[in-house]
Amino acid sequence: MKIVAHRGYWLQDQEKNSLAAFERALEGGFGIETDLRDSGRDVVISHDMPGGGEMTLDAFLALCARYPASRPLALNIKADGLQAPVAAALAAHHTADAFVFDMAVPDALGYLQRGLTTYTRHSEYETAPSFIERAAGVWLDAFHGEWYETSHITHWLEQGKQVCIVSPELHRRPHLALWQRLRDAGLHRHAALSLCTDFPQAAKDFFRDQD
């Protein structure tokens, strides 16, 4: 299982989506989840509306290219119509192990048409994931509690899908019970599974102990 650092490996809230958080994640060998929006003619890293001075996607991918072992890169698309610049940036930096997710369905179709690796969402609100036949992977989320069983995860893996699980602390819930379920089921040994977490080093230590 790959560990994906949610908005980088931050130690304080103000470090989220910062250069320091990204460098710390990459140096630790973790993947990164981050957020993309448009600001003027640039695609930038920003969870909320850009205020100016944000890192550009180009600068982010250039940084990640220096750490090819730290993957995957999960690009959370927060604005419509970014397909062309996102595709161009990924091609320019030869980034082959990034995926895009969380855009509206009409917008997602544009990424699929360009051949970009695209994940669909499966949650208690999206019980039938959109464009599942064409999706490379499933972003498995639980907003109010872990509604899914390990059988849901193995189902998607057996269908040849990558799966990235949203760890409960991203929704301000305790995480260890889910981590224990994944470990008990041996799913942490599956190369097609990822865990997006605010606690990447703790996750690495927790699952490594049982390898």
Angle at 171 between CA 36 and CA 9, to 5 degrees: 55
Q: Is the pLDDT assigned to residue 64 strictly greater than 90?
A: yes
Spatial contact of 10 and 16, defined as CB atoms under 8 Å apart = yes
Non-local CB neighbours of 30 within 8 Å, separated by 6+ positions: 3, 4, 5, 9, 70, 200, 204
Non-local CB neighbours of 126 within 8 Å, separated by 6+ positions: 120
pLDDT at 210: 58
pLDDT at 70: 86
d(CA 159, CA 156): 5
Q: Could you tell me which residues are beta bridge partners of residue 56?
A: 44
pLDDT at 11: 97
pLDDT at 66: 96
Tens of pLDDT along 117-134? 999 999 999 999 999 999
pLDDT at 25: 98
Tens of pLDDT along 9-21? 999 999 999 999 9
d(CA 143, CA 6): 16
Q: What is the CA radius of gyration of the chain?
A: 16
- In the chain, what are the domain boundaries? 2-208
Burial class (CB in 10 A: 0-12, 13-18, 19+), 55: middle
pTM of the model: 0.96
d(CA 122, CA 152): 10
DSSP string, 84-153: HHHHHHHHHTT--SEEEE---HHHHHHHHHTT--BEEEESSS-SS-TTTTT-SEEEE--SSS----HHHH
Tens of pLDDT along 158-207? 999 999 999 999 999 999 999 999 999 999 999 999 999 999 999 999 99
Q: Could you tell me which residues are beta bridge partners of residue 120?
A: 138
pLDDT at 166: 98
Per-state percent for the chain, helix, strand, coil, to nearest 5? 35, 20, 45
Q: Is the pLDDT assigned to residue 154 strictly greater than 70?
A: yes
- Report the pLDDT averaged over residues 133-140: 98
Task: Scan for tokens 């193995």, then name that residue.
Answer: 154
Mean pLDDT (the chain) is 96
pLDDT at 12: 95
Domain boundaries 2-208, CATH class: alpha beta
